[in-house]
Structure 1
Amino acid sequence: MMSGETTVYTVLEVLIAIICCLGNAPVIWAVWSSCALREPTFCFMLSLAVADFLVGFVAVPFAVLVDGQVSTSFNVCLIISCVVIMLTMASVLSLLAIAVDRYLRVVIPLRYRKTVTERRSWLVVGSCWFFAFLLSSPPILGWNRQEGSPSRNSSINCRFIAVIPGSYMVYFNFFLCTLTPLLVMTVLYFYIFCKIKSNLHGKVRCGSASHIYYQKERNLAQSLVLVLLLFAIGWLPLHLMNCVAYFGNASVLPRMGFHVGILLSHSNSAVNPIVYAFKIPKIQEAFLRIWKSFFVCRDYSQTSQSNPTTEDNTGSQPNIVINK
């Protein structure tokens, strides 16, 4: 029987999962269906939105399962845990791809469109997911807690820390695969803002096309930095607790602390669509277009069906124009 704390944790996870799915599905639809959002940056944002959607649809249910709620074999528990890790890796690599794309737009603006094509962008997106799979596979390949555990076919109380070793989570997952990309992205965005500031204040004429270009780049970069900042706020507390548990004494950290850290990390996937909707004009326009085409046109169609126009009583034929 679940304790009160576990019940609250499970309910909150379910709410976060619903918000993740309902929030990211329109983003995926908007980017995929809009020709105006086929730019490389939005391809990478689509990848991030898919990862966030899968966090709600897959990772959150799996996270509840690996909290000791079910009994599985060692292999099944290991695969479930690695899927959760893979989605995190996909988010980090998508954020890195976005930062590199923004860097190239500022550094090589004249050659950018020839260098970063839509085809190459989708290849990068595929590479992000492929490397996310590779980076999450070491536990399956042997870097796990199998030693001293029951045989792989025997049933265990499935918990993340029962199959994934702290050494992998701290040295590989955090230091190498999360903290290093975050530092690289921080440096890239710092350089981007310095370059944009230099161009706006010294190298381009106010009101010119170049001035407008760099203003748009600055506004979009600010929104993407906010996404990066929210990712760091959401995931660093859990990683820091893993470090304390690995290098120090795990008993000093209550289980509730880990539950709060997990909820915070998953909630990151729920807030990203809010940033897209309120901070990025092109996605706002796509949302409005979808709303009008789906709801407004639907209401108009229903109104037309309920109030059909009367036919012309004179029996005259409609005017038909034939282009000769």
Structure 2
Amino acid sequence: MSWVESQTFWRGINVGATLLSSLLEMEEVELCFPQLLKTSCRKPKHSSSHILLLSVLLSVVSLLTVSLNMLVIIAILHFRQLHTSTNMILLSLAFSDFFVGFLFLFQLMMVDGCWYLGNLMCALFGILDLIIVSASVGNMVLISIDRYVAICDPLHYPTKVTLKRARVSVSLCWTCSVIYSTVMLRENLDNLDKFSSCAGDCTADFGITGFIIDLFLTFLIPITVILVLYAIVFVVAVSQIQIMRSQVSVLTSRYSVKAIPKKSEIKAARTLGLVIIVFLSCLCPYFCISLLSLDSLLHTLTGVYVMSLFYFNSCLNPLIYALFYPWFRKSIKIIVTLKIFKSGSSNVNLLHP
């Protein structure tokens, strides 16, 4: 073999090796839509074991969230004894948590980092997600206000916080959430392709002004109100408990009995305080990641885990009710055993043994 033929032979080997290497690299890159080679997004490289684990976890939590919150909704709507102002707010919270269970299904589709339902569904998903987040935060504020009045002004609580006012407040909460979310993400609906960099991408952009407004309205201001009100509730409840225990004199007790909130109100404040603490624990990581980058919420496993943690809060609320509310445990037994279909079941006594 001549020198020229030898060089040509080895040059062909090098070209073939380069082509083979390129083909192997192309095989390693997975696309969200393989048929769209130029416009498809690349799938993030996630461990298959992590994806499987997260898929199973989200499926189980989704089923539990929908089922448990459905029990709360049925219980409060069916049993007349539970038609109170506080439970009306809990019913609203249960509805938002119930819808979160369906958002888990969308999270299941995004565990591999791709969105397969198109830009219109992406925009609608963003609006639905923002509505639920806003309504959940609003419900927590209403719970804080309810407990504040019940503990700090027990004499006027029955007249200030009525069932009708609770219904109006809940309706306003949801109405404002829908209007706010539609206004914030209106541009995403008008220009479906504007914020999509490639096929399989699902992002929402508020702009700098919208982001600041959203940060204050759905995070900083509500959390500040919740923390301040519950700090006051905690201080007042502790002081009132000390008064009830001390009972220094008959005169003191005579003037303090009517001014001190009922033991049941204090217990409710403690239980709902736990609900708020769990809510804030799940909400804060979600907003912290959002502050860094919205993309990280959709295209990294860390972001998916953080969003799942926020959604998981909706599954925890009914479990807290089951642990601390006897009426919820009794209602579950009646619903599960189908005694709810008996005549007069709505008048069952759930609050007293």
TM-score between the two structures when normalised by the length of structure 1? 0.76
Question: Which of 30, 33, 39 is equivalent to 2:78?
Answer: 33
The equivalent of 2:93 in structure 1 is: 48
> Helix, strand or coil for the counterpart of 1:109?
coil
2:280 is aligned, of 210, 224, 232, to 232
Q: Measure how far apart 1:17 and its partner are.
A: 1.0
Q: Paired residue for 1:285, among 309, 314, 330?
A: 330
What is the one-letter code of the residue matched to 1:218?
A: I
Is the CA contact 1:40–1:117 (under 8 Å) kept in the aligned structure 2?
A: yes
Q: Find the aligned partners of 2:209 and 2:123 in 1 and give their Cα distance.
A: 13
Residues 150, 261 of structure 2: 8 Å contact kept: no
Checking the alignment, whether the CA contact within 8 Å between 1:96 and 1:181 is kept in structure 2 is yes
Q: Is structure 2 residue 197 aligned with structure 1 residue 149?
A: no
Residues 130-209 of structure 1 correspond to what in structure 2 (within 5 A)?
A: 130-142=175-187, 146=191, 149=194, 156-159=199-202, 162-165=203-206, 167=208, 170-202=211-243, 206=247
SS in 1 for 2:185: helix
C-alpha offsets along residues 14-65 of structure 1, whole Å, 9 cap, x if unaligned? Answer: 22211101111111111111122111110000100111111103x2223445
Percent identical across equivalent pairs? 24
More deviation, 78-87/101-110: 101-110
* C-alpha distance in 1 between matches for 2:101 and 2:274: 21
**Partners of 2:192 and 2:225 in 1: CA distance:** 36
Residue in structure 2 matched with residue 223 of structure 1 by the alignment = 271
1:273 offset after TM fit, Å?
0.6
- SS in structure 1 at match of 2:116: strand
CA contact (8 A) 2:154 2:261 kept: no
Contact 1:199 1:214 in 2 (8 A): no
Displacement of 1:285 in angstroms is 3.5
**1: distance between equivalents of 2:123 and 2:115?**
15
1:224 Cα deviation from its structure 2 partner: 0.6
The whole-number CA distance in structure 1 between the counterparts of 2:117 and 2:321 is 39
Q: Is contact 1:78–1:139 with CA below 8 Å preserved after alignment? A: no
Match of 2:77, as an amino acid?
W
C-alpha contact (below 8 Å) 1:205/1:211 kept by paired residues: no
Q: What's 1:127 paired with?
A: 172
Deviations 1:59-81 (A, max 9, x none): 222344565230413x4321211
Taking the aligned partners of 1:178 and 1:79, their CA distance within structure 2 comes to 22
Q: Which amino acid aligns with 2:274?
A: L
- RMSD after superposition: 3.4
Partner of residue 97 from structure 1, selected from 139, 142, 153: 142
Structure number with bigger Rg? 2
Cα shift at 1:195: 1.6
- Alpha-carbon spacing, 1:282–1:169, altered in 2? closer, same or farther (3 Å): farther
Q: Does 1:83 align with 2:124?
A: no
SS at match of 1:163: coil
Deviations 1:147-176 (A, max 9, x none): 98379xx994242xx233474785233332
Per the alignment, residue 116 of structure 2 pairs with 70
Report the CA distance between 1:204 and its aligned residue.
8.4
Among 277, 289, 293, the alignment partner of 1:241 is 289
Partner of 1:306: none
Structure 2: which 5+ runs fail to align? Answer: 1-31, 33-42, 248-252, 343-353
Stretch deviating more after TM superposition (267-276 or 142-151): 142-151
TM-score with structure 2 setting the length = 0.71
CA deviation profile, 1:107-127 (whole Å, cap 9, x unmatched)? 332222222221121111111
Opposite residue 261 of structure 1, the aligned amino acid is V
Partner of residue 7, structure 2: none
| Deviations 1:131-159 (CA, angstroms, capped at 9, x unpaired) | 111221234323789598379xx994242
Q: Would the aligned equivalents of 1:169 and 1:242 in 2 still touch at CA under 8 Å?
A: no
How far, CA to CA, are the matches of 1:33 and 1:296 in structure 2? 10
Question: Are residues 1:61 and 2:98 paired?
Answer: no
Distance (Å, rounded) in 2 between the aligned partners of 1:147 and 1:121:
38
TM-superposed CA distance for 1:6, in Å, is 4.0
